[in-house]
Amino acid sequence: MRKVKFSKTTLKLQKNRRISILKSHPKGHKVRENMRKRENEAPLKQESRRESNRLRIARLRALETVQEQESRRKSNYLQIMQGRLSETAEDREERLECHRNVTRSSRIAIWKDKENAAYSYNPSIDYKSDASCILGAMSITCQFCSAKKFKSETPGLCCSGGKVHLLVLRDPLEPLHTLLSSESVCAKCFRRI
Task: Give the nearest distance from C-beta 47 to Zn ion in angstroms.
Answer: 47
Task: Give the nearest distance from C-beta 11 to Zn ion in angstroms.
Answer: 42
Q: What SS3 string covers the chain? A: CCCCCCCHHHHHHHHHHHHHHHHCCCCHHHHHHHHHHHCCCCHHHHHHHHHHHHHHHHHHHHHCCHHHHHHHHHHHHHHHHHHHHCCCHHHHHHHHHHHHHHHHHHHHHHHCCCCCCCCCCCCCCCHHHCHHHCCCCCCEECCCCCCEECCCCCCCCCCCCCCCCCCCCCCCCCCHHHHHHCCCHHHHHHHHC
Task: Give the nearest distance from C-beta 134 to Zn ion in angstroms.
Answer: 23
Prior bond of 175 cis (ω within 30°):
yes
The smaller minimum CB distance to Zn ion, of residues 80 and 147, is found at: 147
What is the CB-side half-sphere exposure of residue 150 using CA atoms within 13 A? 6
The smaller minimum CB distance to Zn ion, of residues 117 and 159, is found at: 159
Task: Give the nearest distance from C-beta 154 to Zn ion in angstroms.
Answer: 10
Span near Zn ion by CB under 5 A; candidates 85-93, 107-115, 155-163, 181-189: 155-163
Instruction: By CB under 5 A, tell whether 144 contacts Zn ion.
Output: yes
Instruction: By CB under 5 A, tell whether 159 contacts Zn ion.
Output: yes
Tally Cβ neighbours within 10 Å of residue 142: 17
Span near Zn ion by CB under 5 A; candidates 35-43, 75-83, 101-109, 151-159: 151-159
Task: Give the nearest distance from C-beta 139 to Zn ion in angstroms.
Answer: 15
Task: Please state, in angstroms and rounded to a whole number, the distance separating the CA atoms of residues 151 and 149.
Answer: 7
Span near Zn ion by CB under 5 A; candidates 84-92, 127-135, 142-150, 167-175: 142-150
The smaller minimum CB distance to Zn ion, of residues 74 and 148, is found at: 148
Instruction: By CB under 5 A, tell whether 157 contacts Zn ion.
Output: no
Span near Zn ion by CB under 5 A; candidates 51-59, 86-94, 143-151, 182-190: 143-151
Interface residue with Zn ion among 21, 31, 142, 179 (CB under 5 A) is 142
